[in-house]
Structure 1
């Protein structure tokens, strides 16, 4: 009798999951994975689907009130006036990419910016320390990971000094990513006078639907005059040896000019979500500062609060519009079907496609999942290079003229679930600097040969396939 009742419950739960997968699924391959997971793993499979598989963009019933709040804020604040401003770009390719981003996010291209490419964590934090020390009005920080350690201790000392000078300090952190940030440090910051708030906190009643939607952005804005964004978190992994991975490598940007305000808009939206405080009504936080720079920048903000998978469409537009070359530097390369096919089509069309990826990462499942895509890509003519050190950079550039640096990985989580932020630079100069670094790293890396790769062990192939099967969870 007990087995009959359990079986009946499993059928009911599977039927519920199957209905939602079939009617609201995004991709057939991902939908099939979820069907098998919910069918073969009674109760556990459905629970995992409820946590990680619900498509919030399609199923309005499961849309969090916080997500609705974000959407309302987007609609009411920072409404663009006039056209998309694409006419300041040089060619149709740039204009098409810019128009796509504008149509999805209302974010315009901003002219007259200056950019400094920060090629590793040491460079990034030295620049951030300097900018924090020069703050005159406010400091706004937002990071997926904030961990106790040498780096954050130095930042806290600087913030304490600035708070004593009357400078406003606000900090946002992701609840899951920053779980190592201890209570003592949080309380110390609050006692100092800093405004410190968690993003997407685990709350009773919304935990099951909020766990899978993390804020993955890395942002620092000082006085709305200087901004930082990219892949660097506040963690000592960038300055000390990580067991098995060494010192993490990453790419970050220091930006001055009108584009800083666009980065700040993303912060203000998230701050409103976390605190109910709408700072966008105060000109102190929205005033734009020009700069005599030569870089055109467009900020790409994406997440479940947008109707489309913005960053996935951004990457697809890069790949589809490339005419000569595509270069990708990313730590977690687990592409969707459309991204995978776009890379193959580009390579088969004669475009030089180069992927520079880490041979190992902090996630074995992600590494095996990444390897599972290599054979089909190699067959199409994609060049794959594996570097010995662990690179956390999220960079893509095409035709030596358009580059993107940000927080977004090439995986389903970044495309469909996380809140991300990229900076597109329509600049040959900035792209050339990234390419120089890319080529230097590529020349030191190991290039995969198709015939040699095919000879990998049966165990390796099995682990790759199993990891790929569970890729919806990655």
Structure 2
């Protein structure tokens, strides 16, 4: 037998093995399995290569274990285990009586996402890039110890990027410890040389993933978090990245509507720990030898888990998820929020490509009389995903779910229920955010803050048009074909 034939047979066997693993070992969502089976069917000799590059999450779990920093997580988990016991045993008194109704959600997030529940927080809602960066830049100017920045998109050549870097250089020159992380795929046109001045001033800059080879092999995984932490006391997270488009300065998706939050109090330490863990993951990969990065963690800071900061009275949990997570933690929390809603459920998301669990949860919530409303962009940035988004929400219209299309590009990722619980963060309602991206969301248990989220949603409706079954039925034949094609690809896109 010729060598070429043997090679083709081996490749085909690898394809069969990949299919068997996908079906019997991975136990993935059936839509994901079906999408990959189509890939293997039409690309029988190279399908397994695509699966290795963008389908399997096993390699990310191995890397997280190899390059992680167990010391940070062990100290965090020790405090968390005690808190889970205290909450389950009814030993923790909630500052708001209504929070008691969501004890099961808090316990779920604690166990599922290893998320510490704190009650001494203030959270400020910011609904534009102008408002967001005005606060961030002011806080950075007042920084005395450290500034830690992590963005999926950091456009260093845009006006806001230049201003951001200039400010970080000033702080680094003042002796403030400055650390910046950006995602290499999200910030495709940003390069290390753009931060030359910052590094010269003593700042530290890291790219996810640092190795070009790993960036190719792990191209499907994105560090989609957005974090700014100042002096370990103030933190920001939400949907806004560093780029001029977030100010509505680019015609293609103007106007731009987004949401972030500014946090102070105990919850900042959870975000600080998240940043440290991501930082160590990248630091360790920079060492060619089998030598882990020497990353010192201040014991006094970690001990503050046991010593609450008297900052405010809002309950907050910080949830993180990613391809190395055991469960789709943020998705699970979303499902629990949906099923917990009794009066209303308001959702803002730029992309809506959920799995069957979320679709059924929304359908059942509406069937139970819950006022379910979903707000989406009226101007898409990714037409294939937008087509699938409209297809998915169209399935819910006959169940009583109300859908609104914003006049511009809506990039906010928020959910609020019953004037009691809300979440603001980086995760979209799609399979990519739930399973493939590294995300961070804040879950806030507070009546006053939830009402603010509710009122902003209702105010945003003024800039929306209603999307209904009649409008959707008028789409042309080409759009129907287009949707059908992308419907199969969406679960792995």
Normalised TM-score (structure 2): 0.89
What is the aligned counterpart of 1:113 among 115, 118, 121?
121
> Structure 1 246/452 Cα, relative in aligned 2: closer, same or farther at 3 Å?
closer
Contact 2:338 2:365 in 1 (8 A): yes
CA distance in 1, matches of 2:55, 2:114: 28
> Structure 1 99/43 Cα, relative in aligned 2: closer, same or farther at 3 Å?
same
Pairing 1:282–2:283 present: no
Pairing 1:39–2:47 present: no
> Structure 1 73/418 Cα, relative in aligned 2: closer, same or farther at 3 Å?
farther
Pairing 1:401–2:420 present: yes
Pairing 1:14–2:15 present: yes
Using the TM superposition, give the Cα deviation of residue 32 of structure 1 relative to its aligned residue in structure 2, in angstroms: 1.2
Contact 2:238 2:413 in 1 (8 A): yes
- Residue of structure 1 equivalent to 2:381: 362
Using the TM superposition, give the Cα deviation of residue 17 of structure 1 relative to its aligned residue in structure 2, in angstroms: 2.2
Q: Which range moved further: 219-228 or 302-311?
A: 302-311
Using the TM superposition, give the Cα deviation of residue 71 of structure 1 relative to its aligned residue in structure 2, in angstroms: 7.5
Q: Which runs of 5+ in 1 are unaligned?
A: none
- Residue of structure 2 equivalent to 1:251: 259
Pairing 1:198–2:196 present: no
Using the TM superposition, give the Cα deviation of residue 241 of structure 1 relative to its aligned residue in structure 2, in angstroms: 2.3
- Residue of structure 1 equivalent to 2:55: 53
- Residue of structure 2 equivalent to 1:131: 139
Per-residue CA deviations over 1:428-458 (Å, capped at 9, x if unaligned) read 1111111111111113211112133223212
Using the TM superposition, give the Cα deviation of residue 164 of structure 1 relative to its aligned residue in structure 2, in angstroms: 1.9
CA RMSD across the alignment? 2.2
Per-residue CA deviations over 1:94-122 (Å, capped at 9, x if unaligned) read 21111011002332211121111011111
> Structure 1 451/5 Cα, relative in aligned 2: closer, same or farther at 3 Å?
farther
What is the aligned counterpart of 2:268 among 242, 260, 263?
260
Pairing 1:165–2:174 present: yes
Q: Which range moved further: 260-269 or 237-246?
A: 237-246
> Structure 1 26/152 Cα, relative in aligned 2: closer, same or farther at 3 Å?
same
CA distance in 2, matches of 1:465, 1:71: 44
> Structure 1 245/404 Cα, relative in aligned 2: closer, same or farther at 3 Å?
same
Per-residue CA deviations over 1:258-283 (Å, capped at 9, x if unaligned) read 11111111001111111134646224
Pairing 1:412–2:410 present: no
- Residue of structure 2 equivalent to 1:235: 243
> Structure 1 65/145 Cα, relative in aligned 2: closer, same or farther at 3 Å?
same
> Structure 1 259/409 Cα, relative in aligned 2: closer, same or farther at 3 Å?
same
Pairing 1:147–2:155 present: yes
CA distance in 2, matches of 1:62, 1:150: 35
CA distance in 1, matches of 2:444, 2:60: 36
> Structure 1 455/44 Cα, relative in aligned 2: closer, same or farther at 3 Å?
farther
Pairing 1:320–2:336 present: no
Contact 2:61 2:325 in 1 (8 A): no
CA distance in 2, matches of 1:160, 1:207: 28
Using the TM superposition, give the Cα deviation of residue 67 of structure 1 relative to its aligned residue in structure 2, in angstroms: 4.3
Using the TM superposition, give the Cα deviation of residue 155 of structure 1 relative to its aligned residue in structure 2, in angstroms: 1.5
Contact 2:350 2:412 in 1 (8 A): yes
- Residue of structure 1 equivalent to 2:165: 156
Contact 2:72 2:273 in 1 (8 A): no
CA distance in 2, matches of 1:392, 1:406: 11
Per-residue CA deviations over 1:233-291 (Å, capped at 9, x if unaligned) read 11111224223211422100011111111111100111111113464622475474724
SS at match of 1:281: coil
SS at match of 1:350: coil
- Residue of structure 1 equivalent to 2:62: 64
SS at match of 1:234: coil
CA distance in 2, matches of 1:99, 1:197: 34
Matched residues, number: 469
Using the TM superposition, give the Cα deviation of residue 302 of structure 1 relative to its aligned residue in structure 2, in angstroms: 1.2
SS at match of 2:347: strand
SS at match of 1:111: strand
Contact 1:280 1:286 in 2 (8 A): no
Q: Which range moved further: 412-421 or 279-288?
A: 279-288
